[in-house]
Amino acid sequence: MAGVSGALVALIGITVIWRSERRARTAVEARLATRQEQFSVLAHEIKTPLALISATAEVLLTPTPGQLTDDQRRFVEEIDLSAARILLLADNILTESRLQAGVFTPSFAATDVRPLLREISRTMRRLAEQHGQRLALDYPQHMDDIVVDAALVRQAVVNLVQNAIRHTSHGGVVAIRAYQNERDVVISVWDDGTGLDPTRRKAVLQRFVSYSGGTGLGLTIVETIAGIHGGKLMIDTSLGDGAAFLLALPRTVAA
């Protein structure tokens, strides 16, 4: 009887500990969910006025409202570029929050990536020119459509271009190139900056790790977006020889 009683006491003790740990784990998960929701709401609140600021700046840069002086144009361009940078950060935070919360559902559709890349090139060219850099774009005359979430692919490529601009010196070149093989459509973003030490390749893909003053979210988001599509992000670089980030997207959606 003593043995049975002791085992019963031990079982009760284990049950109490398990229930206590489960309550603590549930409380932690609830706090994390609340924090992710707060980030998501914050990102939405940031995006709305920034989108309006960016749209207003773009209108001011056209001849319609009247000609700007050189100084005025420079100030408006800085407003536009700064708004675009923060909008991208808000998009990254929002995507990260949704992914962490498990509530993100991609919208896959047949997409020609070439118009998407042309739009990105137009948008990011002003940022490159502000740094005294040249942004080049190259793709073949014919490319097959691929089934992707176009908004996510745009977010990934913009992150890669912004990262390349950050690492390219004044007067340097950033190149966006697309091509396809039997399995993938590959979007490559290359810069002629300082490159990466091989030991840092994996580190730069970790959340909140940055070697250039950024947030450290951009490349993590790109790798996550690649994974959502069943693809991958590859890095071709060596110290002192620039870097190429290659986003490989399968020509069919992963099951």
Cα 208 to chain centroid, rounded: 12
* Extended strands (E) in the chain: 109-111, 134-138, 146-148, 173-180, 184-191, 232-237, 243-250
Q: Can you give the residue ranges of every domain in the chain?
A: 2-101, 109-250
Domain covering 109-250, topology: Heat Shock Protein 90 (3.30.565)
Secondary structure tally for the chain: helices H, strands E: 5, 7
Residue-level pLDDT at 121: 93
3-state secondary structure of 32: helix
Round to whole Å and give the CA distance between 60 and 240.
40
Q: What is the pLDDT of residue 58?
A: 73
What is the reported pLDDT for 208?
A: 47
Contact 212, 226 (CB under 8 A): no
What pLDDT, on a 0 to 100 scale, did the predictor assign at position 62?
Answer: 77
* Coil, helix or strand at residue 13: helix
Q: For residues 90 and 84, give the distance between their C-alpha atoms in angstroms, rounded to a whole number.
A: 10
2-101 and 109-250 in the same fold: no
Q: In the CATH hierarchy, which fold is given to the domain comprising 2-101?
A: Helix Hairpins (1.10.287)
Within 8 A by CB and 6+ apart from 114, the residues are 139, 143, 178
For residues 221 and 98, what is the distance between their CA atoms, to the nearest angstrom? 12
pLDDT at 43: 61
pLDDT at 25: 59
Q: Please return the burial class of 132, using the count of CB atoms within 10 Å of its CB with bins 0-12, 13-18 and 19+.
A: exposed
Cβ atoms < 10 Å from Cβ of 153: 26
| Amino acid letter, 8 | L
Q: Note down pLDDT in tens along the chain; length 255 residues.
A: 544 454 555 556 566 566 666 666 565 555 555 555 665 566 667 666 767 777 777 777 777 777 878 788 777 777 877 777 777 777 777 777 777 666 677 889 999 999 999 999 998 888 888 888 999 999 999 999 999 999 999 999 999 998 888 888 888 899 999 999 999 999 999 988 777 666 665 656 655 455 555 545 678 889 989 999 999 999 887 656 678 899 999 987 544
Spatial distance between the Cα atoms of 245 and 235, rounded to a whole number of angstroms: 5
